[in-house]
Structure 1
């Protein structure tokens, strides 16, 4: 491997960086360097439903889908190299890609269990046999921000909504069966999960509670009474920042209002300018009293 650059966990790299550092080819999810006896594994997370690969995390182990987009996969070529990596002392380096041309370095990994056979659809939507390789990271450093996962999932869900009812049913049934079989085959017996890093925005509890008191139990958007009372007998409302804290909004009374859970979900789902205008108007009228 070339040492002109040093790969750092959690950093983004280009395809050219990967090629130069590991002496591997310029494309593919599994790339082998005969010179260095190294496998570079890239887990692509597409949001357009075009990828036939469905990689699944269970904590720090990635069940990586083998090579081959159409038809039954075979334990040949790079799949064979990955399957025999432990016996052949082949080093594995893992990357994840959520955007084109950007690759996040996860670190060195190791094949840590038997390969699992599963049924999935290929790029032509035909059922086929695939192999799942359990690849476990050898360090505790790699984490991914939850907003990257959430943003990718939101884009994927948007594209899923474009499917016909028949297509949606087919994919849902196949994925349900796969999850059931996968659960039985994996030793952890746990649902898909992974370590993520959350970004938290501090909300002052004095401001939050005060705007709820000012609401007198009524939603600042729809004007309806809170849907229920909590265990302390208080109307259940959310304190909402009109200009989001995550986008630079201030944690101030003039930027905060109490809304019901239904309207809160509506605000964040639709981002309707008319709703924002109404909230600002209601805050202004509230503060004048």
Structure 2
């Protein structure tokens, strides 16, 4: 199966294809202790003010880079779980596959990315309190991925 930027999938399809959970914005296959196989990120761009109350993450593009807000909805974010997996990717370089939420249960594939840096930014949490969040800066590696049983092959960027 060839996965191309612009292809749309259901949440269940993403979970089945990549062997990750159906919840969370940062979903990884493998473990932090024994090694991450790959990460699936879901982002919700261009939110309405009402949607921003429930989903306080300020993900956005700056030029070609995706600025992805780490996980944790209340208080300062911690470098654990999904946030730690993204930080580890800067050294280990396992694949990160990014999907943008387009409608309830529908996600569009944006491509494969690498984390190039992580910074701390001030953002509001779900209770309206200012807090520290991690901003992971990601650059696109490829628009296409060839999915084969037990193997994810990255194709050159178009």
- For 2:93 and 2:7, how far apart are their aligned partners in 1? 26
Counterpart in the other structure of 1:96: 100
Output the TM-score relative to the length of structure 1.
Answer: 0.45
Which whole-Å CA distance do the structure 2 matches of 1:110 and 1:119 have between them? 23
Q: Is the 8 A contact 2:42 2:101 kept in 1?
A: yes
- SS of alignment partner, residue 4 of structure 2: coil
Q: 1:18 to 1:140 in 2, by over 3 A?
A: closer
Which residue number corresponds to residue 40 of structure 1?
A: 40
Shift of the 66–102 alpha-carbon distance from structure 1 to 2, 3 Å rule, reads: same
Distance in 1 (alpha carbons) for counterparts of 2:9 and 2:63: 24
- The total of aligned residue pairs comes to 136
C-alpha offsets along residues 140-191 of structure 1, whole Å, 9 cap, x if unaligned?
A: 68xxxxxxxxxxxxxxxxxxxxxxxxxxxxxxxxxxxxxxxxxxxxxxxxxx
Identify the residue that residue 122 of structure 2 maps to in structure 1: 119
C-alpha distance in structure 1 between counterparts of 2:143 and 2:85, whole Å: 25
In 2, Cα distance between equivalents of 1:104 and 1:12? 4
What is the match of residue 84 of structure 1? 88
**Conserved 8 A contact 1:37-1:91:** yes
Q: Which secondary structure state, in structure 1, belongs to the residue aligned with residue 92 of structure 2?
A: coil
Summarize deviations over 1:105-144 as a string: whole Å, max 9, x none: 01111112x2111111001111110010001111368xxx
Task: Provide TM-score, normalisation by structure 2.
Answer: 0.80
Contact 2:115 2:137 survives alignment (8 Å): yes
Larger gyration radius, structure 1 or structure 2: 1
Which of the numbers 42, 48, 71 marks the counterpart of 1:67? 71
Whether 1:14 aligns to 2:10 is yes
Name the residue aligned to 1:136.
139
Deviation at 1:51, TM superposition (A): 1.4
Determine if contact 1:108/1:138 at 8 Å carries over to the other structure.
yes
CA contact (8 A) 2:40 2:98 kept: yes
The structure carrying a bigger helix percent of its residues is: 1
SS across alignment from 1:79:
helix
Q: What's the offset of the Cα at 1:86?
A: 2.8
Comparing 127-136 with 79-88, greater Cα deviation is found at 79-88
State the Cα RMSD in Å.
Answer: 1.7
Asked which structure has the greater RCO (Cα within 8 Å, sep 6+), the reply is 2
Matches of 1:127 and 1:86, distance apart in 2: 27
Q: Which aligned runs of 4 or more in structure 1 are off by greater than 4 angstroms? A: none
Distance 2:105 2:129 in 1: 29
